[in-house]
Amino acid sequence: MKPKLVTSFALVGSLVVVCGPLSAHHGNIAYDEEHLITIMGTVTEMAWSNPHCQIYFDVKDDKGKVVNWAVESQSPGILKRNGWTKSSIKPGDQIAITLAPAKNGSPVGFSGGNKGKIVFPDGRVLRMNER
C-alpha cells in the first residue's frame, strides 16, 4: 500500500474510535428505576416529538395542591409500534401512569421502561416499550 493510503486509513480509523462514543444515547441516571410509582392525573399536553415524546399532566398531592408533572416516554416510532397515535392521549384525559420518578423529588419521571404504561378509567392500557 502507498504511505498516503495507509495514513488515510489510520486517520479515518482513529476518528471512528474517538467520535463513536459521541453518538451514544443518554442514560436514565436521574430516575429511580428500582422504585416505580403509579400516579393519577389529568393530561394537559402530549408532545409527540423525537427523540422522546413528553406527557404533561396535573396531579393532586396529599394536601390537594395541583402539581404539574412532566414524563419522558419513548420515541414516536416505538410508541406507534405499540399501537399509539398522536391522538392516543389528549388534554383532559384522566390517566394512571406507571413511571420511574426523579431521584431528586422533582415532579418529573421516565415511563419508557419495560413496565411503563398508561391506564385509562375504562381499563384501556397503552404500553410504552416494545413488546
Asked if 78 contacts 130 with a C-beta cutoff of 8 angstroms, the reply is yes
Residue 119 has pLDDT above 70, yes or no: yes
Q: Could you say which of 2.60.120.10, 1.10.287.130, 2.40.50.250, 2.40.50.140 is the CATH number of the domain covering 37-127? A: 2.40.50.140
pLDDT-derived band at 121, boundaries 50, 70, 90 = very high
Q: Please report which confidence band the pLDDT of residue 2 belongs to, taking 50, 70 and 90 as the band edges.
A: low
Q: What is the pLDDT of residues 41-98, one digit of tens each?
A: 999 999 999 999 999 999 998 899 999 999 999 999 999 998 999 999 999 999 999 9
**In the chain, pLDDT over 90 holds for what percent of residues?**
66
Q: 78: how many CB neighbours lie within 10 A of its CB?
A: 17
- pTM for the structure as a whole: 0.76
Higher pLDDT, 22 or 117: 117
Instruction: Supply the pLDDT for residue 79.
Output: 93
Instruction: Locate 39 and state its grid cell.
Output: 400516579
Helix, strand or coil, per DSSP, at residue 69: strand
- Domain spans of the chain, in order of start: 37-127
More confident residue, 73 or 17: 73
DSSP string for 82-112: TT--TTSS-TT-EEEEEEEEBTT--SEEE--
Cα separations in angstroms, 38 against 8, 13, 65, 87: 55, 47, 18, 22
How confident is the model at residue 113, as a pLDDT? 80
Beta bridge partners of residue 39, listed in sequence order: 97
